[in-house]
Amino acid sequence: MSEAGRRSSGTKYRQVEAATDPKDGFGGLHIFIATDSANDRFLLLQLLKHLGLDVGLFELQDGAFRIPPLRRGNIVLCDTDGAAGQQALRDMAVAPDRPALIALTSGPSELDKRRLRQDGADAVLVKPVMDVDALAAVLGRWAGQALAPALPDEESGAADTEGETPDDIRGELAALRELAGPQHAQELLDQLGLDLDRTFEQLQAAVRQDNLDEIRAQTHILIALAGTTGAHRLKRAAERLNAQAHGGDLAAVSAQAKRVEAGLAALREEVCRTIGTGPDEGAP
């Protein structure tokens, strides 16, 4: 199998071009992603990176995913929001030695899930997938083994004043570019920048309005984004803000939100630097 992407941070990444030999994998377990969404691809790659798994990407050619010969024991995360993914799911479901098929969908209804199972899905995950523990549980069930994220030491409960340096974040962003490969790197970083901008704006609005439900929703997104970029202090600060929003203490929420917004502004600046552009006019 040819390697189309560089290996980084413990995750093996490649474009899928030929049959997979089970001897080649990390612990014999191969995970494949079939999606044409840059945002979903980015999130899944980072979650799988934390699990230290062997990751392959299906190529989209002429409106259809290019599916190599797969083996029992492989696991495919298949985005079924588009026609290409729906057809790929049906095709893989009838393969003689079919892999485990996990459908990804933005439709959370029971009717949507039932339809996907009828098409051959063994399990269904609702997008966006941002919970590494939930993903590990589903993958572990079909892999027949327990999977757990390899989290950095900083995430063991250290104070917000301890953790990474700006150089660490720059290194992690550089690793993301290598991980994605030249074909997808810019697209993934652009999407990351947009996600951070949107989260910043929506979190600020929620804090101004004392909207605790929206604060919890935005901190969940921020926890995932900060974790994938190596911004562990920001991740811990967002986790604390989420807990305070659950507790309903508006004064504590307001004070913690200022710390989170400062950390988020710094991360946005680093991402803009990596992309090669400056922050938008008026941004912190």
Query: For 80-128, what is each residue's pLDDT tens digit?
Result: 999 999 999 999 998 888 888 999 998 878 888 889 999 999 999 988 8
Cis check: omega of the bond before 279, within 30 degrees of 0: no
Report the range of poorest mean pLDDT among 22-36, 65-79, 220-234: 22-36
pLDDT band at 12 (very low <50, low <70, confident <90, very high): very low
Q: What does pLDDT average to over the chain?
A: 75
How confident is the model at residue 209, as a pLDDT? 94
The more confident residue out of 85 and 72 is 85
Contact criterion met (CB below 8 Å) for 69 and 218: no
Stretch 211-226: mean pLDDT, rounded?
Answer: 84
How confident is the model at residue 211, as a pLDDT? 93
How confident is the model at residue 164, as a pLDDT? 56
Global pTM?
Answer: 0.53
Highest mean pLDDT among 46-50, 128-132, 134-138, 223-227: 134-138
**Domain annotation for the chain: domains and CATH numbers:** 12-143 (3.40.50.2300), 158-275 (1.20.120)
Q: Is the pLDDT of residue 57 over 80?
A: yes
Contact criterion met (CB below 8 Å) for 93 and 70: no
